[in-house]
Copies of this chain bind each other. A is one copy, B any other.
């Protein structure tokens, strides 16, 4: 094992701050290899030193806030890290497509990558191939557990199934903490639940949605996660728009120019979701927003489905995710992973756990 590893961090927002806290604990606990933070940036600022001297991890957030230095361009950052005297892991805590697009560049220069950023693995299939080709060619690692289900062991479990020769036949579940919270409130297994538009407003007020709730309701977040899992299961899905994705944004509101305008006009369309809920209730069921991958028929889809009240997907609580893997070895009873699939600390946990695994291979 190497003596020290340099860590470069892009993104110091919600997940980034939690990650830095976990990194500080990790660095203090593990004397070998020594973990040195050599670069950290937000969208506006950066901290680094020309000679890769470690930045104090405990005060990194404050040092960054006070820094007068602008972030390096991605190509300049790649050159800086490639010239480092030790092995380097780049931790991308953003959801930026630009950073994702540069992964092949970093990997090609021997810089390993750990990230919760979905964009790299759910964008074009060409980018997916470029990332894993660059990793294979240079030996640099790329880990992204938190790109699906935050810190839940989803990606690692699917990889273990595939790598040990099991055949995954179907994957299904609730992949969005936001959608889970919304439907557990709107159509609970016990009680009536609220009006759809009121539940959306409430979820936003509680911080369960993106700043613009349409970014959750359009289904793209779930479609991105399904794209990642389908590709790991062996399906060459072209993009997250290459399969049926049901949007919960009423057609008439697609042209709203802001999230606020959307929320204001949404109550007029409550009858649509109410009808869906009643239809399920008439069958003794509840409606949920789910994704599924059928490997044999190469069918991937995202949208509303009805479930018996006793079904594990119906019985979810809070903003929990649930992911069921059906495989040849596991037979009729799937391997199931369930728990919080969003939140700064649990997302950062997946990143930190990945970092530990990458370091052990350097």
Interface of A toward B, CB cutoff 8 Å = 1, 22, 25-26, 29, 139, 151-153, 156-157, 160-161, 163-166, 310, 312, 315, 317-318, 320, 329-340, 343, 345-346, 348-349, 352-353, 356-357, 360-361
Given A153-B153, A330-B346, A346-B330; A352-B139 close (CB under 8 Å): no
Given known pairs A330-B346, A339-B334, A346-B330, the reply for A22 and B320 (CB within 8 Å) is no
Contact assessment for B335 and A338 in the assembled complex, using a CB-CB cutoff below 8 Å: yes
CA distance A91 to B38 in the complex (A): 40
Report how far A356 CA is from B156 CA in the complex, Å: 12
Cβ contact within 8 Å between A335 and B330:
no
B22 touches A165 (CB 8 A): yes
The residue from B156, B164, B318, B349 contacting A329, defined by CB atoms under 8 A apart: B349
Known A26-B165, A330-B339; further 18 A-B contacts with Cβ < 8 A: A1-B139, A25-B165, A151-B164, A151-B329, A152-B335, A153-B153, A153-B156, A160-B349, A160-B356, A163-B352, A164-B356, A165-B352, A310-B310, A329-B345, A329-B346, A335-B337, A335-B339, A336-B337
**The 8 A-B residue pairs with the shortest CB-CB distance in the complex, in nearest-first order:** A335-B339, A160-B353, A336-B338, A164-B352, A25-B165, A329-B345, A153-B153, A164-B349
Taking the nearest CB of chain B, how far is it from the CB of A81, in angstroms? 21
Closest CB of chain B to A345's CB: distance in Å?
5
Bound Cα distance A333, B184 (Å)? 14
B residues less than 8 Å from A312 (CB atoms) = 312, 315
Query: Known contacts A139-B1, A153-B153, A339-B336; is A310 also within 8 Å of B320 by CB?
Result: no
With CB as the reference atom, state the residue of chain B lying closest to A336: B338
Tell me the bound Cα distance from A318 to B333 in angstroms: 8
Shortest distance between the CB of A255 and any CB in chain B (Å): 38
B163 touches A356 (CB 8 A): yes
**Interface pair A317/B333, CB less than 8 Å apart:** yes
Among A1, A160, A164, A315, the one with the most B-chain Cβ atoms within 10 Å of its Cβ is A164
Please determine whether A337 and B337 come into contact, CB atoms closer than 8 angstroms: yes
Alpha-carbon distance A29/B234, docked complex (angstroms): 15
Query: Chain B residues near A163 (CB, 8 Å)?
Result: 26, 352-353, 356
Contact B340 A331 (CB under 8 A): yes
- Quick one: closest B residue to A30, CB to CB? B163
A273 → chain B closest CB, angstroms: 25
- Least Cβ–Cβ distance between A121 and chain B, in angstroms: 20
Task: Determine how close the nearest CB of chain B comes to the CB of A318; give it in whole angstroms.
Answer: 5
Rounded to whole angstroms, the CA-CA distance of A164 and B160 in the bound complex is: 21
Of the A-B pairs whose beta carbons lie under 8 Å apart in the complex, a sample of 26, sorted by A's number, is A22-B164, A25-B165, A26-B163, A151-B160, A151-B164, A151-B329, A152-B335, A153-B157, A160-B349, A160-B356, A163-B352, A163-B353, A164-B348, A164-B352, A165-B352, A318-B332, A320-B333, A329-B346, A333-B339, A333-B340, A335-B337, A335-B340, A336-B337, A336-B339, A357-B357, A361-B361
CB within 8 Å for A336 and B333 given contacts A153-B156, A161-B349? no
With A153-B153, A334-B339, A349-B161 given, is the CB distance from A315 to B310 under 8 Å? Answer: yes
A338 CB, min distance to chain B CBs, angstroms: 4
Chain B min CB distance to A312 (Å): 8
Kindly report which residue of chain B lies nearest to residue A166, judged by CB atoms: B349
